[in-house]
Amino acid sequence: MTDITSLLGEEAESLLGHVCRGFPREQLHLPGPDFVERVLIDGDRPPGVLRNLQALFDHGRLAGTGYLSLLPVDQGIEHSAGASFAPNPIYFDPARIVELAIEGGCNGVASTLGVLGAVARRYAHRIPMMLKLNHNETLSYPTQYDQTLFAEVEQAFDMGCVAVGATIYFGSPESRRQIMEISAAFQRAHELGMVTVLWAYLRNPAFKQEGTDYHVAADLTGQANHLAATLKADIVKQKLPETNGGYRAVGFGHTHDRVYDTLATDHPIELARYQVASCYMGRAGLINSGGGAKGASDLGEAVRTAVINKRAGGMGLISGRKAFQKPMAEGVALLNAIQDVYLAKDVTIA
């Protein structure tokens, strides 16, 4: 098992010993082996959705825990194939992407229409697959920031996917159109029995103020999570919060003093707890993203993110570049280290 305490370094005591007070753990719907029956059974999700969500929970090294470790690889569109795969060219081949998820003990793999479609017959029965429906295509010049549909829900169903994913850039001028597109797509996915996962990201130049990036503020990302749950996302993907006070700094929207002085202090677990609470108190599972690859610090950063997510009441981690931009053995080791956090009995809910 991974030496979690050593990897956390000087933050170990603060991260492993903190007790949340803004939202006590007793108020949350926490992940667990019985999450589907305990939390979702009273809702309106069709039986096929519950079956496929349980299939995700029952796969990989975290099977039976109620936690998720997912491998997402759509960066070939989002960042260009060269920028994404040149550090480790084997991943130009879609089969190697899925093999990394399998060897890494992941619950599932999320990728593009082309990647999954190229290998679906060989792998759909071996690991749960999630088709990412839309992408920010960056070959167009000048650069635009918009999410474009690349696939239809029926294509995901036909290739055997258990889930669909999508991104909305909340706060952007295009967000209203994206909301309508993805609302319709998620409704259709649920009709076909597939799980829905929303990348609830923020995008607006005004969210950067005086050197601080409020795209990762707890109050703004929390509201994006709340909108995602309102769109009936079963799982919400969000960046780990790094600050708070986005509404106040930008000077727009509606907020409340208690968001800053009571419900979400500046402790990283408290900030992430606000994200969980915004996901209908955990009724929609929060998975945090692992962030970009940086090199030697990747393992420690991934474990730190997993500890914060788990102790805040989140449902897991979705980590891509930190894993696939390394030799496969190192990528597998990193994914296993993330999973070790969720398997560790002494890493408890704060």
Please provide the DSSP assignment of 49-99 as one string: HHHHHHHHHTSSTTTTTT-EEEEEE-HIIIIIHHHHHTTSGGGGSHHHHHH
294 included as an active-site residue: no
Cα–Cα dist 101/348, whole Å = 26
Q: Helix or strand or coil: residue 135?
A: strand
**Residues near 209 by Cβ (< 8 Å), separated by ≥ 6?**
249, 250
Distance CA 249, CA 291 (A): 24
Q: Is 333 helix (H, G, I), strand (E, B) or coil?
A: helix
CA–CA gap between residue 130 and residue 143 (Å, rounded): 27
Rounded distance between C-alpha atoms, residue 230 and residue 68, angstroms: 22
Q: Which of 132, 232, 237, 239 is catalytic?
A: 237
The strand pair at 195-202 and 163-170 is best described as parallel
d(CA 274, CA 332): 31
Pairing of strands 148-149, 134-135: antiparallel
Residue 338 near residue 302, CB atoms below 8 Å: yes
**Residues designated as active site:** 237
